[in-house]
């Protein structure tokens, strides 16, 4: 198979806005899946509700488009019923960390053998741009017209603290690195959490003085700080550049996992 064979071409072009990065993440995921020679019949994609959660609808495998926030609950069920299936979850920041927050921490605690790919656009995209738990402080959204005054969730720290085996963060600009990281995550027994920072030009960029896709993507590119470099800066007690976020493999360990293929 090639990557193209994993798409449901009759459903394309997809509903994502022009310049939305969700499509790039689907490409990276399918490239990783394809490189592992997984079988269509043994792979299941699960998602909740949101723009990001539309992703499984464009993939040929069996999939579950579930209720808002409950993708992980359904995925846990699929994996426990049949350990031989490869289960991949697509979710959004609101889906995963707001309404689905409890499912998220417990899936990490159980360390169940899933791969969770969170498309973090820092906003509720589908419903018109309300603030999510990942909206950065100061950012404008329809529910924070004077700027977000709450701190944002660090989903990777949360997943690590709750017990996930593999945690990494990339952006939709770093597609090569992202593909490699997703591949590592897919191979890892236990819960693999991959957070992908992604541009939502329609509902985030437009309100936050990032007028076009290029502005959004360049901002992500310029503020991504490699884990290795971050560690070096910390060791040398140098200041961390303002507004930057760490990318790379953040956690890679082998805690006991649930539902691993025998």
Partner 1 sequence: MKLVIDDVRCKGCNLCVMVCPYHIFQEGRRPNRRGVFVPELDRPERCTNCRLSQLYKRRLCGVCQTICPDQAIKWVPEAKHEPHKVVIEY
Ligand X SMILES: Cc1ncc(C[n+]2csc(CCOP(=O)(O)OP(=O)(O)O)c2C)c(N)n1
Q: How far is the CB of 193 from ligand X (least distance, A)?
A: 15
Smaller CB distance to ligand X: residue 92 or 190? 92
Q: Is residue 125 within the footprint of ligand SF4 (CB under 6 A)?
A: yes
Asked if 21 interacts with ligand X (CB under 6 A), we say: no
Compute how many residues bind ligand X; rule: CB under 6 A: 17
Of residues 13-42, those binding partner 1 (CB under 8 A): 13-14, 16-24, 27-28, 31
Relative to beta strand 192-197, strand 115-120 is: parallel
User: If contact means CB under 5 to 8 A according to the sort of partner, which of partner 1, ligand SF4, ligand X, none does residue 113 touch?
Assistant: none
Q: Of residues 6, 16, 153, 230, which one binds ligand SF4 by CB under 6 A? A: 16
By the rule CB under 8 A, 184 interacts with partner 1: no
Least distance in Å: CB of 162 to partner 1? 31
Judged by CB under 8 A, the stretch of 151-159, 174-182, 189-197, 229-237 that binds partner 1 is: 174-182
- Residues in the site for ligand X, rule: CB under 6 A? 49-52, 68, 92-95, 119, 121, 123-127, 132
């Amino acid at each position: 198979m090639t990557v193209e064979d994993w798409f449901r071409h009759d459903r394309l072009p997809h509903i994502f806005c022009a310049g939305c990065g969700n499509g790039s993440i689907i490409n990276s995921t399918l490239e990783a899946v394809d490189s592992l020679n997984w079988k269509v019949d043994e792979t299941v994609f699960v998602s909740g509700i949101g723009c990001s959660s539309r992703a499984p609808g464009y993939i040929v495998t069996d999939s579950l488009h579930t209720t808002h926030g409950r993708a992980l609950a359904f995925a846990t069920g699929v994996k426990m019923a049949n350990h031989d299936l490869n289960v991949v979850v697509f979710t959004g920041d609101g889906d995963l960390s707001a309404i689905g927050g409890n499912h998220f921490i417990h899936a990490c605690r159980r360390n169940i053998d899933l791969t969770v790919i969170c498309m973090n656009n820092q906003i509720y995209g589908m419903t018109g741009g309300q603030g999510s738990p990942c909206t950065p402080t100061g950012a404008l959204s329809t529910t924070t017209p004077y700027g977000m005054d709450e701190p944002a969730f660090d989903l990777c720290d949360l997943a690590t603290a709750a017990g996930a085996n593999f945690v990494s963060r990339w952006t939709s600009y770093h597609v090569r690195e992202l593909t490699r990281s997703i591949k590592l995550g897919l191979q890892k027994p236990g819960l693999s959490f991959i957070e992908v920072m992604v541009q939502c030009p329609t509902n985030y960029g437009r309100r936050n003085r990032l007028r076009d896709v290029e502005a959004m993507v360049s901002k992500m590119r310029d503020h991504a700080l490699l884990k290795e470099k971050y560690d070096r800066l910390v060791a040398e007690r140098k200041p961390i550049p303002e507004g930057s976020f760490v990318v790379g493999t953040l956690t890679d360990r082998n805690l006991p996992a649930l539902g691993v293929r025998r």
